[in-house]
Amino acid sequence: MRIRAGTLAVAALLVTVSAAAQEAVPPELSLQQALDIARRNNPTYLQAVNDKDVADWDVKQAWGQLLPSASASSGVSWQGPGEQQLVGGLTLGDLGFGGQPSYYFSSYRVGLNYNLSWSTILGPSQAKAQRNATVARTSQAEATLVNQVTQNYLDVLRQQEGVRLAEQQLENAQYNLRLAQGRLEVGAATPIDVGQAQVQVGRSRVGVLQAQNTLATARMRLLQQMGVPVDQEIALTTTFDLTEPTWNLEELYDEALRNNPGLLAARSSKHAADIGVSSARSAYYPSLSLSTGWSGFTREASSTGLQIAQAQAQVASAVSQCNYTNELYSRLADPLPPLDCTQYRFTDAQRQAIINANDQFPFSFQKSPPSVSLSVSIPLFQGLSRQRNVEAARAQREDLAQQLRDQELALRANLSIGLATVKTDYQSARLEEENRNLAEQQLRLARERYQLGAITFVELMDAQTVLAQADRDRTAAIFAYHDAVSALDALVGTSLRN
């Protein structure tokens, strides 16, 4: 039954996780909706978000180190009957305390400790700097996610355009087949022209199938990047316009210095390393330690027989001593009055007092004296480990400073290259648009001339091939422009599209 209950619990957990992952995706999906869904479901990004929660607790823990620590403890124990060995091989029996009973013990202790050092004082500042670095890395992960989802979104649009071009090429091939068949019926063409047209139609159908499969794959990759099941049908609604880039390099660079997530993460890590150097130097400074505590204990014998016997023995010894003293008084030349030995006797009240005094376990604590201690520790020599840690912290800080400088140099170079690429891709897309219009005109003229018998079917197919290639080049140029703008967005750290 325990195994079965555990299995049911695991199954319930899996159902909960699976239900959480089954977020509904709207059938008409905009880019912003895709980004919002990805932020809620992408596993890689959510791992980075979890790091931020840990960093927040690191800051709270650093502040907590400035407060005193408190501890409370309590315990019980039992000691069996028998002889106890003392120092030098003596036992309690040798001292006349043989036949010890078993004992029950209980105790408690409440303590306060306060430790203060320079590294503890720097702890909150260092934890905040590390948290800022973690937040910056989280922003960097979000920027990476936005770029990846945008690229996948663009790829789906690219493949949709590829399907449209493949279907358009199939329509053109079918139209050419009808032209060839019409000319064959009037005797103006040969069966070879019809056969070539049929082959062209078959190849175009293959192209449509391949384009549709590529589109389905691109959709699945987009849904996978969004962190949702891939067996969903979606239609993309966001469009991307081909606009002339008018950005200025200096403006982009200034914007990137303020917003580039990788650069911000490097700066935060550098700041944390600066505090790390100060923290490493704090090993040379003295530290303060203050502690105090309250404690108590109980001790109860399992039997009071030994204690009563010892008390009776003491009373008998006192009576014997009293009688001996009276005998001495009586032998004097001038005898003294005898002492009253009846005052030494063991009463029931004494017996009951011994029993009551033994009734302590487990909560009749006897308080121990309170204690307070204050100590100041001044480190003198620790085998050069402190200086080694300081040098290691300095080296890490210098490494991060050089990495930051390298990123700033790379950022400016990448922005220059990216801006030039965007401008080139824009001009290329415009030229490819003109080339496509010219190819379409050539195909229209080729069809008219073929109908008049001025050219062969092979020449008509050549014109069709030129148009198909022009369409592919135009699509490739347009989406190369959008890809370049997305890459520029990632460098700047914000969207450049209005």
Cα separation, 472 vs 166, whole angstroms:
10
Cα separation, 184 vs 188, whole angstroms:
6
For the chain, give the percent of residues with pLDDT over 70.
Answer: 92
Amino acid at 294: W
Name the band, by pLDDT with cuts 50, 70 and 90, for residue 89.
Answer: low
The tens digit of pLDDT for each residue in 441-470 reads 998 999 889 888 888 888 888 888 899 899
- Specify the range with the lowest mean pLDDT, choosing from 75-84, 244-253, 323-332, 369-378: 75-84
Query: How far, in whole angstroms, is CA 278 from its chain's centroid?
Result: 27
The count of other CB atoms within 10 Å of the CB of residue 364 is: 13
The tens digit of pLDDT for each residue in 465-487 reads 899 899 999 999 999 999 999 99
Give the pLDDT mean for 340-352: 84
Domain boundaries, the chain: 23-67+119-286+385-492, 77-83+91-116+290-377
> Is residue 287 within 8 Å of residue 375, measured between CB atoms?
no
pLDDT score for 498: 62
The set of residues, in sequence order, having a beta carbon less than 8 Å from that of 274 and lying 6+ positions away, is: 129, 397
Is pLDDT of 84 > 70?
no
Largest CA distance in the chain: 177
Name the band, by pLDDT with cuts 50, 70 and 90, for residue 11.
Answer: very low
Burial of 276 per CB tally in 10 Å (0-12, 13-18, 19+): buried
37 is written with which tokens?
């869904």
Ranges of H-type helices in 42-117: 43-64
Q: Report the DSSP beta bridge partners of residue 299.
A: 105
Cα separation, 324 vs 201, whole angstroms:
140
The tens digit of pLDDT for each residue in 190-213 reads 888 889 889 989 999 999 999 999
Burial of 384 per CB tally in 10 Å (0-12, 13-18, 19+): exposed
Is pLDDT of 245 > 60?
yes
Cα separation, 440 vs 452, whole angstroms:
19
Cα separation, 129 vs 55, whole angstroms:
10
The tens digit of pLDDT for each residue in 119-141 reads 888 889 888 988 988 898 898 89
Give the pLDDT mean for 383-412: 91
> Is residue 282 within 8 Å of residue 119, measured between CB atoms?
yes
Give the pLDDT mean for 279-305: 86
pLDDT score for 203: 92
Q: Report the DSSP beta bridge partners of residue 287.
A: 377
Strand, helix or coil for residue 387: helix
Cα separation, 49 vs 139, whole angstroms:
9
Q: What is the mean pLDDT of the chain?
A: 86
Q: State the Cα torsion 450-454-458-460 to the nearest 10°.
A: -40
Q: Which region, left, alpha or beta, applies to residue 5 given φ > 0 means left and ψ of -120 to 50 means alpha?
A: alpha
Name the band, by pLDDT with cuts 50, 70 and 90, for residue 94.
Answer: low
pLDDT score for 33: 94
Is pLDDT of 30 > 80?
yes
> Is residue 129 within 8 Å of residue 272, measured between CB atoms?
yes
pTM higher than 0.75, yes or no?
A: no
200 is written with which tokens?
């062209």
Is pLDDT of 103 > 60?
yes
pLDDT score for 489: 92
Give the pLDDT mean for 288-317: 85
Q: Looking at 170-238, which runs of residues are DSSP E strands? A: 235-236
Name the band, by pLDDT with cuts 50, 70 and 90, for residue 83.
Answer: low
Q: Specify the CATH architecture of the domain 23-67+119-286+385-492.
A: Up-down Bundle (1.20)
Is pLDDT of 268 > 50?
yes
Stretch (H or E) spanning 179: helix 118-185
The set of residues, in sequence order, having a beta carbon less than 8 Å from that of 450 and lying 6+ positions away, is: 179, 183, 456, 457, 459, 460
The tens digit of pLDDT for each residue in 175-193 reads 888 988 888 888 877 888 8
